Amino acid sequence: METIYKDIIIIGAGPIGIACALECKKRNWDYTIIEKGALTNSLFNYPLNMTFFSTSEKLEIDDIPFISNNPKPTRNEALEYYRRVSTSNNLNINLYEKVLDINKAKNGFKIESDKAIYHSKKVIIASGFYDIPNLLNVPGEDLPKVFHYYKEAHPYTLQHIAVVGASNSSVDAALEIYRKGGNVTMIVRGNAIGERVKYWVKPDILNRIEEGSIKAYFNSEIKEIKATEIIVQTDEGEITIANDYVVALTGYRPNFKFLANAGIEFSQDAKHIPVYNPETMESNVEGLYLAGVICGGMETHKWFIENSRIHAKLIANHIENKKE
């Protein structure tokens, strides 16, 4: 296996990983981004028709203008923007390469991927949280009719669909499937639609529920998934609902095992927030930095592109200052 030496290895080619690469390039550091999937893999896996909550200028990195045709940019516009930023700046990015392990070495780090061995002075982890779904942990969840990601509505036309959750992703999926001819039932653990649902979408879902176009069971949970039905525990007792597909959009989590194997420590509570210095983004492992939404642990709603893009500059400034 090839051995490669670098100043900095960046793990993850999402918007924040790209921002980190731009900061490295400004300083003429020898860096490489390693990404296990496509460029901006999480954005690529978003629903085809997704619209961002943020305006385009809040998604910009390194003061490179993001021009959108809409008040709120779409997934396709964001993919085009980050793609052009990466290609126009000739960023050094290895796609479809998975990092398997990070080990602290005498003069830096040894990083093993499925394609090469890297030695670097510093490591930046900007791998996001979109790869590991929060499971329902109920019988039948392993059936092929159960999905933890949503791409588009067409496959669900004329089908009985259970959408689990009440977040932005759940609400968007429920509305789109309903409008494409699916029979939608929402299963919501809480007592209402989520507080953070986009303000221009929330009245729509509430009206559809009120008129009965979309059935919603609040304070409810799926207890079992079967081939043609689901068993739901509601606050009025257990019920059985006809079902063809379950779209369980119950959130995602960082790869905590990967981080722990690298030596990163976490808060001792349910939030499981990794330990890092918010002024420098350096973790408890010297020379290993965290950037982007991964910093939130289980609080995946705390960090977004718009409030974590500054991490790239904080990291680069700290590395630069330590060299002096």
Same domain, 237 and 313: no
pLDDT at 107: 87
Residue 94, classed as helix, strand or coil, is strand
Same domain, 6 and 128: yes
- Residue 273's CATH number: 3.50.50.60
Q: Which residues pair with 277 in a beta bridge?
A: none
pLDDT in tens, 20-33: 999 999 999 999 99
pLDDT in tens, 79-116: 999 999 999 999 999 999 999 999 998 889 999 999 99
How far apart, in whole angstroms, are the C-alpha atoms of residue 79 and residue 320? 30
How far apart, in whole angstroms, are the C-alpha atoms of residue 156 and residue 26? 47
Same domain, 171 and 224: yes
Confidence of residue 241 (pLDDT cuts 50, 70, 90): very high
Same domain, 89 and 186: no
Same domain, 125 and 257: yes
pLDDT at 226: 98
Q: Phi and psi (nearest 5°) for 10?
A: -110, 125
Same domain, 265 and 307: yes
Residue 54: CB partners within 8 Å, gap ≥ 6? 72, 73, 304, 305, 306
pLDDT in tens, 182-212: 999 999 999 999 998 989 999 999 999 999 9
Domain count, the chain: 2
pLDDT-wise least confident of 12-16, 35-39, 278-282, 300-304: 300-304
Last residue of a domain, one of 227, 248, 269: 248
Residue 139: domain span: 135-248
Same domain, 143 and 162: yes
Q: Phi and psi (nearest 5°) for 187?
A: -110, 115
pLDDT at 77: 96
Same domain, 27 and 122: yes
Same domain, 199 and 108: no
Q: Which residues pair with 164 in a beta bridge?
A: 187, 248
Continuous segment of H or E residues that includes residue 216: strand 215-217
Last residue of a domain, one of 198, 221, 248: 248
Same domain, 128 and 144: no
Same domain, 204 and 261: no
Same domain, 237 and 264: no
pLDDT at 129: 85
| Nearest alpha carbon to residue 121 among 49, 33, 52, 29 | 29
* pTM of the predicted protein model: 0.91
Residue 240 pLDDT > 90 = yes
- Dihedral sign for Cα atoms in the order 296, 190, 257, 19: negative
Residue 287 pLDDT > 60 = yes
Last residue of a domain, one of 196, 220, 248: 248
Residue 104: CB partners within 8 Å, gap ≥ 6? 263, 285, 287, 288
pLDDT at 37: 96
pLDDT at 53: 85
